[in-house]
Chain A
Amino acid sequence: MTGTTSPDVQLALLRHHGTVSAEGKPVRAMENSAEAAGRHIHAAEGPDGDALLVLGWRGHEPGRGSQPRITRRQLTMGQVKFLVVCAALLSDRQPARAAVPFAEITTALERLTGRSATGTAGPAADTLTRAGLLAWSGRDMVLGPATLVWDAQTRDTIAVAVRRLHEHPGWRDRIS
């Protein structure tokens, strides 16, 4: 009988949240079902040292070179900017911060783009948190569980974008 602790429902919750605690979960059964469906469950460590399960893809992500082509939802340019600015602020200090206030991200965005972020920053944060790319920690934002399982190509792309932002002549002035 299917219950809330059954592997299929636990996998649905994992897909919905992007990550769940590994504690008490039928991990082996979940892994088997996920692998058969082309998904892969990654083991990760949470901020408090707790064991987490994160859902990714088995092999490369669908849509990259697959035939026939599929239509996938994509982040808008504004959402990508929000993510990169957040990542740049997190890694701007030594040691890197674990969280950055939402207000600091919107202020940096407004100074960098010269446009008001009112009305766009909130929806961008909403979309990025649902995609598992960012997560809320009180009023601060942290990198989300999906970033734990980024492939090398995605990780490099974000790192290059962050480095270019750090090297931008106006970066220091704009975040000060």
Chain B
Amino acid sequence: MTHEAPDDALVMETVQALEAASSPLRPREWYALADARLREMVEARLQAIGRQLIEVSEQGARSGGFLTGWSDAAAPVIAARRAGLQVNDLAVLSIIYLHSHVLGTLLGEQTVPLDAQLAAHEGPDGRDIISAGDLEECLQRLRSRELIDRAKSPDPALLRLSASQQRRLDDSLVLLCRPNSLLALQIRQDRARLERPEAAR
């Protein structure tokens, strides 16, 4: 007797659930995520559709488990063709991520409310980067994409990053905050080498 058919159904059901779920699936409820052999099958089928399995650790009130995100092969193609998010939205998201996640969560610093942070940021000509009128629309677009939650904190979409995608985000923050540092110089060199692999040979 073969286990192939039951395994196939179990794996497919788990892949479907992962692709539809808005919060992590727990291995204790999804056997195909608990069993290493079946989890490999899940990973392979996700990779074949441009997705990948992301393990999320339990932290505070946040439950652990598995989510899916874009595969490393698909992510740059998707990013190059993104639509809907505007430069202002990305600027607001950067400030939220920097202050709330990096300074607030990772470094444990006391941070002031987002509205005050945004008001404190001025462009080179001294004007506000994002006017108060535009801010609410930016926040709505970010919320509807699950990039931030109601409390204006980074939301589940940012958990759907692979290790290399997270590293690229962290590197981009270094370029944003310390553009003249040695680390930033190294990051720029590494990226240039990756974008022109033939030049490095």
Which residues of chain A have a CB within 8 Å of any CB of chain B?
Answer: 2, 4, 6-13, 15-16, 33-34, 36-39, 57-58, 61-63, 66, 68, 70-73, 119, 122-123, 126-127, 129-130
Which residues of chain B have a CB within 8 Å of any CB of chain A?
Answer: 12-13, 15-17, 19-23, 25, 29-30, 45-51, 70-71, 73-74, 77-78, 81, 84, 136-137, 140-141, 144-146
Cα distance A122–B81 in the bound complex, in angstroms: 21
- Contact status A68-B16, CB under 8 Å: no
In this complex, the member of A15, A34, A61, A129 whose beta carbon has the largest number of chain B beta carbons within 10 angstroms is A15
Cα distance A121–B145 in the bound complex, in angstroms: 16
- Contact status B78-A12, CB under 8 Å: yes
- Contact status B144-A71, CB under 8 Å: no
Say which residue of B25, B29, B77 sits within 8 Å of A12 (CB atoms): B77
- Contact status A37-B46, CB under 8 Å: yes
Q: B40 CB to closest chain A CB, in angstroms? A: 14
Say which residue of A8, A61, A72, A123 sits within 8 Å of B141 (CB atoms): A123
Q: With A9-B74, A68-B30 known to touch, is A34 a contact of B141 (CB < 8 Å)?
A: no
Point out the residues of chain B lying under 8 angstroms from A71, CB to CB: 21-23
Q: With A122-B137, A123-B140, A126-B141 known to touch, is A8 a contact of B16 (CB < 8 Å)?
A: no
* Given A8-B48, A33-B48, A62-B21, 4 other A-B residues pairs in contact with their CB atoms under 8 A: A37-B12, A63-B17, A68-B30, A70-B20
Cα distance A14–B50 in the bound complex, in angstroms: 10
- Contact status B141-A38, CB under 8 Å: no
10 A-B pairs with C-beta separation under 8 A = A8-B71, A11-B48, A12-B74, A15-B50, A37-B46, A37-B48, A37-B51, A61-B20, A62-B19, A126-B141
Cα distance A130–B141 in the bound complex, in angstroms: 11
The 5 closest A-B pairs by CB, nearest first: A12-B50, A12-B74, A38-B16, A33-B48, A62-B20
- Contact status A36-B12, CB under 8 Å: yes
- Contact status B73-A6, CB under 8 Å: yes
Cα distance A12–B15 in the bound complex, in angstroms: 15
Cα distance A169–B117 in the bound complex, in angstroms: 50
Point out the residues of chain A lying under 8 angstroms from B22, CB to CB: 71-73
Say which residue of B20, B77, B144, B146 sits within 8 Å of A123 (CB atoms): B144
The residue on B at minimum CB distance from A68 is B29
Q: With A62-B20, A72-B21 known to touch, is A12 a contact of B71 (CB < 8 Å)?
A: yes
Q: With A12-B78, A63-B20 known to touch, is A127 a contact of B144 (CB < 8 Å)?
A: yes
